[in-house]
Amino acid sequence: MSRLQSAFAKGPALVTFVTGGDGPTDTILDALVEAGADVIELGMPFTDPMADGPAIQQANLRSLGAGTKTADIIRIAADFRARHPGTPLVLMGYANPMTIRGPEWFADQCRKAGVDGVICVDIPPEEDQELGPALRAAGVSLIRLATPTTDAARLPAVLEGSSGFLYYVSVAGITGLQQAAQASIEDAVARLRAATDLPIAVGFGVRTPEQAAAIAKVSHGVVVGSALVELVGQHGADAPKAVFDLTKALADAVHSARESA
C-alpha cells in the first residue's frame, strides 16, 4: 500500500497546505505532522498564482522575496522524507516552474526526494502530456482537481490518469475565500464517489474545526491551506506553534469522524 493509500485507509484524513520557503518551513512541516496532519501539501511558490486568493498570493511573494528556488523546495521535500518516512508529501503549484526544465527532470526530482504526488493547478487533462506521462513513469501520483463546473461528461477525463486522491474544489473561485454550503459538498462528493474509487479530499475555504468535522463526515479528507498560511504570515519565525495549535484542533475534528463512521 502506498503512503497516500495508507493515509486515507484510516478514515477521514486531514490534508494541510503550506507554501514552501515561507517562514521556517522544515519546522512548520514537523509541527503539521506532530499535530496530526495525515497528508502534507507543500506549495511551490510562483510569481503569478492565478488560482490563489490573497493569503496564498502573499505567501508566494514572501517566499520568492526570501530567495526561494525550486532546488530549495526539492531539498525541503527530501529532508522531510528523511525525517518522516511514513507521511505522504504532495507538491502543489503551477505549470511553469514544474515544466521549465522538462517534465522528466521534475518527475525525477520528485521521485528522488520521495514526493508521493503532484497537484498542478493549470494543467487540465487536455494538456496532460506536459507532465502526466513523466510523473506516471516515475511512479509519482498525478492528483487532479474536480470542481463544481466539472460535469458528468467531463469527469471521466479528469479521472483518467490521475491517482493518489481526487481533490474536490468545493467552490468555483480562488483559494481561501468563500466556503461552500455543506449540502452542495455532500451532493458533489456523492456524485464523485459513484465515478471513482479514489479517496476524495475536499478543499477551498475550509478554515475551522467545525467546518472540517462536517466535511469529514461525508468525504475521505479535508484540505486546509489559507488559514494555516495566514498564521505563517502573522507569526513568521514563531509560526510552528500557532500552526501546531490550529492543526491539532483540525485533526481532532477530522479524526473524530472516524469513530462516528
Residues that bind other proteins (CB under 8 A): 46-53, 57, 61, 64, 69-70, 94-100, 121-124, 126-127, 130, 144-151, 154, 158, 169, 171-174, 177-178
According to DSSP, residue 125 is labeled G
Least distance to other proteins from the beta carbon of 99, Å? Answer: 6
Please identify which of the residues 22, 38, 52, 116 carries the catalytic annotation. Answer: 52
> What length does the chain have?
261
Least Å distance, CB 153 to other proteins, is 9
Q: List the Cα angle 36/112/18 in 5-degree steps.
A: 35
CB nearer to other proteins: pick between 8 and 106: 106
Cell output for 99:
515544466
Contact 254, 13 (CB under 8 A): yes
Calpha distance 144→137 (Å, rounded): 17
Count of Cβ atoms closer than 10 Å to residue 67 Cβ: 8
Interatomic CA distance for residues 216 and 194, integer angstroms = 18
Tell me whether residue 52 is one of the annotated catalytic residues: yes
Q: Whose CA is closest to 13, among 111, 106, 149, 116?
A: 116
Counting Cα atoms < 13 Å in the Cβ hemisphere of 14 gives 31
Q: Which is nearer to other proteins, 21 or 36 (CB)?
A: 21
From the candidates 41, 116, 128, 230, give the one annotated as an active-site residue. Answer: 41
Query: Please, which residue, 171 or 250, has the CB nearer to other proteins?
Result: 171
Write down the least CB distance from residue 84 to other proteins, Å: 26
Rounded to a whole number of angstroms, the minimum distance from the CB of residue 146 to other proteins is: 7
In the complex, least distance from residue 117 CB atom to other proteins, rounded to whole angstroms:
16
CA 45 distance to own-chain centroid: 14
Nearer to other proteins, 167 or 244 (CB): 167
Neighbours of 141 (CB within 10 A): 24
So which residues are the catalytic ones? 41, 52
